[in-house]
Each structure stands twice: as C-alpha cells, then as structure tokens.
Amino acid sequence: MPIQTQLSWSERIAETIVEQCDNDGYHAFPSERWAYVQGMTLMAMAQTGEQYGKGEYIDFMKRHMDLYIQKDGSIATYSLEEYNLDQINQGKNLFSLMDDAEDQRYEEAAHLLAAQLAGQPRTSEGGFWHKKIYPFQMWLDGLYMSAPFLAQYAKKFNRPELWDEVAHQILLVERKTRDPRTGLLYHGWDESKEQVWADSTTGCSAHFWSRAMGWYAMAIVDSIEHFPIHHPKRGTIIGIFERMCNALVRVQEQESGLWFQVLDQGFRKGNYLEASGSSMFVYALAKGVRLRYLEPQFKQAAEKGWQGLTSRLVEETADGVKLNSICHGAGLSLDRDGSYSYYVGEQVVSDSFMGTAPLLLAALEMERLS
C-alpha cells in the first residue's frame, strides 16, 4: 500500500487495518468469536469514520458486527453464563448501530449484555468479578470492558441507577488496588487472598502493569463522558483520575516520553518501553485535557508520549503503519503469577490489534486536541 502522508495519522492507521483484512473485509481478526480486542478495533475504526466523514470505516464496523448480531438480538459465539467482563466490550459498538437501524436487534443485543452485568458475580462490596472462573477477583482490565458500556446504556435507556453502579465499580477498584506510595494501581485484587499472585495482607498482585493501568485510565474518560454533570460521584471520579494521571506522568520515561511494561521499574533488566499501554495513556491524557477533566498542563505529557510513539515505535512501510513493542498478552492465574519476570517474559509482538487499536484511538484524540 503506498504511504499517503497527506492523510492524518488516524486515517493512515485505519487504512492499514483495512489492508490487513481479506479483500471482502470480513476476516480481519485472528479471533473468530465476539471478543474485546476486535470490539476495540471496530470502535476505533467507526470513530475515525465519524471524525473524517468516511462512511467506509463505519461500514467496516457494521459489517463485522453483523457477523454476530442475529435477527432476534442474540449474539453468535457469546455466552451470558460465562459472566466474562471481556465479552461486554464489543457491545459498545451497538449504540451507534441502533441509532441508525430500523430493526430492534442491536437494542436487544445491548439488553442482553446489560443482563449479564446485572447478574455478574460480585465481591462482598459489590465489585464485579472479572470472570466467573476468577472468583472474588477484580482486575483493572474489567473496568474498561464494562463501565463505559454501562454508562452509555444508562444514558441511552434512562437508567440513572446504572450510573451509580459504574461509579461504585470505578471507585471500589481504585480503593482496593492503589498503592499510596507511588499512586499507581496494581493489576488485580483478590478479596479471598487465595491466589498465588495475591499478597496475603492486601490481596493485590505484585506489580504495576502498563496496559492494566491503560485500560483503567481509558475506562474513566470513556465512562464519565456519559455521566450527567449533576451526578454526586462525577467530581470524585474526575479527582481520582487527575491524581492517577499525576502518578503516570511521574513514571513517564523522560527521554522517549513513553511508559515501561512494568511502570515503576525503569530500565531494570528485561523491562522495555511498551506500545499498547503508552498509547492508552496518550489517549486518556489527551481526552482528559480536551474534556477538561484534567488541567491543561497534562497536554504536554500527551504530546510527548505521542511524539515518542510515532518516532520510536511506529514505522511507515509499503504495507502501511507498523507498530512495534506490543506485549502480546498478560493475565493473572496459577501459571501467570504477576511477578516481574512474568510481565517482562511475555511475548513481545508487532502489528497486533492489541496495540494498533489503542494507537488509532490515541491518534484520534491527539488530532481532536490540536
């Protein structure tokens, strides 16, 4: 694909995503099921279409969504009984679809996902378990998957009690996972303190994983966008967001403007500047400044991060925009113990949608900001 430098960064990234699909545009994703990375990528594509008046990107999102949304509003490959927060994320694309559709299937699909959250297993204080198979565990990742969906659902269907629910989830996980010394948030928390990765006193995992905090930062800016200004917890959430962003700026690597895979460990052996978390932080900082959740001085940190991404981790090739230094995946379980060696030992890849989708979202926000 010839490089089209007259296009914005977001358009060039979106064009690359289209090129990576089969010619019919149906098989872009390695996952053949309803899934969170696919959902984030489709959302970023549709937002690019809206921002630049390119209907083909919105159609791209719709085409993929229609592979799953059935005539009765059921969702192919999705199981409510998994009670898996990851499975909510792709549902964020339903809201724009239902606004343009004559049938009710997108609305019914949204109601189905909301029903999962109504019955989601919970900790003793009402925090969503990340998945049914991870009992009594709250992960930062799960807030991005579920909270913005539920906040937009509350607005769309006039369900004000669900804003209270979103606020409760955001504030509870922050209270359980925040380290008072650094201001950073641990990846996960186990109320039962039974997991091999959980501290026997606090229940927290051992390290500050970049992408986990990226998920949480994006969760806040994407959720609060749908809150009414008079909600009693809105200001508190914006306050903890700014406090957290101050902590993130303190661990931003000064020369590159990027963030490490393990945020507070600097150039310790094995640690590296990671693309997906850095992209998420740029997105959250830029959007926070644009919507005035953050003070204007945070714009400099966003700009520095964006400059670092485009100059150090992005390549423009004949095949389009290539992103390097992406952590392929990380979690917490019996064989994923949350240790430093675990996080830096996970596979590092290029051109994964896990990194490219946040990069596209970051590009869109930087372009809106400027």
Active site residue 351: no
pLDDT confidence of 32, banded at 50, 70, 90?
confident
Is the model's pLDDT at 261 over the cut of 90? Answer: yes
Q: Which two tokens stand for residue 306?
A: 């964006």
Question: Residue 1: inside a domain, yes or no?
Answer: no
Considering the candidates 22, 24, 141, 337, report the single residue annotated as catalytic: 141
Closest of 173, 339, 364, 344 to residue 279, by C-alpha = 364
d(CA 10, CA 6): 11
Q: What is the mean pLDDT of residues 1-14?
A: 79
Is the model's pLDDT at 247 over the cut of 80? Answer: yes
Is the model's pLDDT at 370 over the cut of 90? Answer: no
Percent of the chain topping pLDDT 70: 96
Domain housing 293: 9-369
Reported as a single tens digit per residue, the pLDDT across 81-126 is 999 999 999 999 999 999 887 889 999 999 999 999 999 999 999 9
Reported as a single tens digit per residue, the pLDDT across 314-326 is 999 998 999 999 9
d(CA 320, CA 274): 20
**CB-based burial label for 11 (10 Å; 0-12, 13-18, 19+):** buried
**CB-based burial label for 287 (10 Å; 0-12, 13-18, 19+):** buried
Question: Residue 37: inside a domain, yes or no?
Answer: yes
Q: Which two tokens stand for residue 274?
A: 């990671």
What pLDDT sits at residue 102? 82
d(CA 187, CA 53): 38
Is the model's pLDDT at 350 over the cut of 90? Answer: yes
Question: Residue 2: inside a domain, yes or no?
Answer: no
d(CA 101, CA 114): 20
What pLDDT sits at residue 23? 52
pLDDT confidence of 142, banded at 50, 70, 90?
very high
Q: Could you tell me the CATH number of the domain that includes residue 223?
A: 1.50.10.10
- Split into its structural domains, the chain has a count of 1
Question: Residue 30: inside a domain, yes or no?
Answer: yes
Question: Residue 162: inside a domain, yes or no?
Answer: yes
pLDDT confidence of 29, banded at 50, 70, 90?
low
What pLDDT sits at residue 152? 98
pLDDT confidence of 28, banded at 50, 70, 90?
low
Question: Residue 4: inside a domain, yes or no?
Answer: no
Reported as a single tens digit per residue, the pLDDT across 159-215 is 999 999 999 999 999 999 999 999 999 999 999 999 999 999 999 999 999 999 999
Question: Residue 3: inside a domain, yes or no?
Answer: no
* Mean pLDDT across the chain: 95
What pLDDT sits at residue 6? 85
What pLDDT sits at residue 3? 47
What pLDDT sits at residue 20? 86
Is the model's pLDDT at 1 over the cut of 50? Answer: no
Question: Residue 193: inside a domain, yes or no?
Answer: yes
Give the least confident one: 1-15, 237-251, 302-316: 1-15
CA 279 to chain centre: 10
* Prediction pTM value: 0.96
Phi and psi at 152, nearest 5°, equal -70, -35
